[in-house]
């Protein structure tokens, strides 16, 4: 494990930073290392939290988390991938095989409506675009409103991946690692 390049803030936090942490974290849960690290620049933290798509949007928690997990896995962002598996994996209804399939390409683990999201994340990661055939397939399952949200999610989590990988954040204690699902 390498040393983080930017140290996470420790309490007590400046008032504005504490308010941002209170908005994003459930009551009684300490702020994640990601937020404490980005908190070194309170303006960026505030803007990042304001741009979050973890609220009830136009897509299901399951669709949201498939996009986030696959995007983070493709980017090698084990920190963020693990945080989302721990926080939302059960709520999204993922099996261990499906969680593993977000890291190890296995579209067989998914029903068609989910598999197309894996392929969307793959296409966006590889080409920053989506071909006409895949787009037509996406349109059979998702509305324009939902497709906008899915594409923006991929972009946001590329940015989050850049942060966690560049700053070399240490993994959260309660979050699984990629290799936790290597044999599923």
**Domain identity same for 6 and 94:** no
Give yes or no: residues 29 and 72 share one domain. no
104 and 170 co-located in one domain: yes
**Could you tell me if 125 and 170 lie in one domain?**
yes
Does residue 128 sit in the same domain as residue 69?
Answer: yes
Most confident range, picked from 50-54, 107-111, 174-178: 174-178
Q: What is the pLDDT of residues 125-179, one digit of tens each?
A: 999 999 999 999 999 999 999 999 999 999 999 999 999 999 999 999 999 999 9
Specify the CATH number for the domain of residue 110: 1.20.1290.10
Which residues 6+ apart lie within 8 Å of 72 measured at CB? 78, 80, 81, 84, 157, 160, 161
Mean pLDDT of 90-99: 97
Question: How many domains are there within the chain?
Answer: 2
Q: Are residues 46 and 27 in the same domain?
A: yes
Shared domain for 43 and 119, answered yes or no, is no
Using an 8 Å Cβ cutoff, are 121 and 65 in contact? no
Same domain, 20 and 106: no
- pLDDT value at position 174? 92
Residues 12 and 48 placed together within one structural domain of the fold: yes
d(CA 149, CA 159): 15
Structural domain boundaries enclosing 39: 1-52
Instruction: Please determine, for residue 88, whether its predicted confidence score (pLDDT) is greater than 80.
Output: yes
What is the reported pLDDT for 17?
Answer: 97
Give the model confidence (pLDDT) of 3-35 as tens digits.
999 999 999 999 999 999 999 999 999 999 999
Q: Examine the domain organization and report whether 131 and 169 are in the same domain.
A: yes
């Amino acid at each position: 494990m390498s040393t983080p390049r930017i140290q996470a803030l420790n309490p007590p936090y400046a008032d504005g930073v504490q308010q941002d942490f209170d908005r994003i974290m459930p009551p009684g849960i300490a702020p994640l290392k990601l937020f404490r690290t980005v908190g070194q620049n309170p303006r960026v933290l505030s803007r990042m939290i304001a741009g979050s798509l973890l609220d009830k949007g136009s897509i299901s928690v399951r669709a949201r988390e498939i996009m986030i997990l696959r995007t983070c896995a493709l980017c090698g962002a084990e920190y963020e991938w693990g945080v989302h598996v721990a926080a939302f994996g059960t709520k999204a209804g993922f099996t261990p095989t499906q969680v593993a399939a977000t890291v190890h390409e296995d579209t067989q683990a998914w029903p068609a409506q989910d598999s197309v999201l894996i392929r969307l994340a793959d296409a966006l990661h590889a080409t920053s675009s989506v071909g006409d055939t895949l787009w037509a397939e996406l349109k059979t399952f998702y509305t324009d409103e939902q497709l906008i949200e899915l594409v923006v999610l991929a972009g946001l989590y590329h940015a989050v991946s850049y942060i966690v990988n560049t700053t070399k954040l240490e993994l959260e204690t309660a979050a699984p690692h990629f290799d936790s699902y290597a044999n599923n």
